[in-house]
Structure 1
């Protein structure tokens, strides 16, 4: 296995707990924890500040959901060996048109963060989870998500403009993702029956796939 360093970016406002079922044993992994955004900064400026925490040359970036979007921005700033997206979007046309409409009309400014942080039956539906333990984890994640980060990140998502796609990109997506529906996405690999919470619900499949990807693409 290559000694290439792997940096992992979690989803919107969450931490490494969403990867706790995935075994990265034998890999040189660092979790890129979120930093506080400056209220008016763009996702590209944020990515530049976050990229300062990457201390090795030509790393691999693994980005989940919003973390994948940030990884795409980082890949335009530094040289990367590989970008692996999980339940994410590599360019803005892969996001639902509704998100763009919300951004254009600035409707997200009128949604209280308390509503976005609340856990209910629709949360479980959109994240594609049914097990009690997964519901409890989602509830805890939503409760602990920083409201200011959440508000800033949602604004970046609904206003994201990206058309730059590196050649060294792998996109893994769930066939039942309801937050970034697969009908908008051209993934490299599809995890059947997986939703947006697939690093928890389909962890073993993703673990095997990532290991195979790294063996194939990074063996030199």
Structure 2
């Protein structure tokens, strides 16, 4: 029996190191890691998604994305026949954005964010992982490796301006009830991970390793 190809996309500015503790049964699943590329000049999210989709080498893959990576895999699903799309610590439409992100869109305040400052590891950790990050900055340096200013400018704009308003009900959403980037009160219809923060891919990996196989196979207990 051929294995199920599972492609993992990290969050904003994050490297594939965030998945180092994710382990799925090797007799059933085959994990492939996707990485952020530097966007082309004025590249749209749709074109970028199409470009990353070219890295998928298997038919009927499972796409799993974390945070902004979750937004990206939903866009990628327009160009590849995915057997399942799963988002973790993310949103399924811009209606699930917190108020501050909606205000940033209306006022274009995101254009005023000094990306040079955000590119320093402490700011980037707070920006990408949420305010609750602790001070283990050496650790975050490993996880947040994409610090190209063009990429950061582009990525922040793509998140804020994401225009999806209708949820694709086929997309499975796993979310922590302590997420401070995308607070739970704005999120509809998700699998809730108790105590999960925005970085639960790092610290709730045991829950994910136990539950992802049945979620992918559709055999999880309802």
TMscore range, shorter length = 0.7 to 0.9
Partner of 1:192: 194
Aligned match of 1:150 in 149, 152, 156? 152
CA shift for structure 1 position 187: 4.0
CA shift for structure 1 position 212: 2.0
Q: 1:1-220 to 2 correspondence within 5 Å?
A: 3-26=3-26, 27-118=29-120, 119=122, 123=126, 126-130=130-134, 133=136, 135-142=137-144, 144-216=146-218
Q: 1:104, 1:159 within 8 Å by CA — same for their partners in 2?
A: no
Q: 1:117 to 1:215 in 2, by over 3 A?
A: same
**In structure 2, distance between residues paired with 1:143 and 1:56:** 27
**In structure 1, distance between residues paired with 2:189 and 2:118:** 27
CA shift for structure 1 position 40: 1.1
**In structure 1, distance between residues paired with 2:145 and 2:20:** 19
Q: Secondary structure at the residue paired with 1:205? A: helix
Q: Secondary structure at the residue paired with 2:64? A: strand
Unaligned runs of 5+ in 1: none
Scaled by the length of structure 2, the TM-score of the pair is 0.86
**In structure 1, distance between residues paired with 2:116 and 2:189:** 33
CA shift for structure 1 position 59: 1.0
CA shift for structure 1 position 97: 2.5
Scaled by the length of structure 1, the TM-score of the pair is 0.87
Q: 1:207 to 1:2 in 2, by over 3 A?
A: farther
May I ask how many residue pairs the two structures share in their alignment? 215
Q: 2:18, 2:201 within 8 Å by CA — same for their partners in 1?
A: yes
1:174-210 per-position Cα deviation (integer Å, ceiling 9, x unaligned)? 1010011111112421111111110111110111111
Q: 1:214 to 1:99 in 2, by over 3 A?
A: same
**In structure 1, distance between residues paired with 2:51 and 2:15:** 18
- Greater than 4 Å deviation, 4+ residue runs: none
Unaligned runs of 5+ in 2: none
Question: Once superposed, what is the RMSD of the aligned Cα atoms?
Answer: 2.4
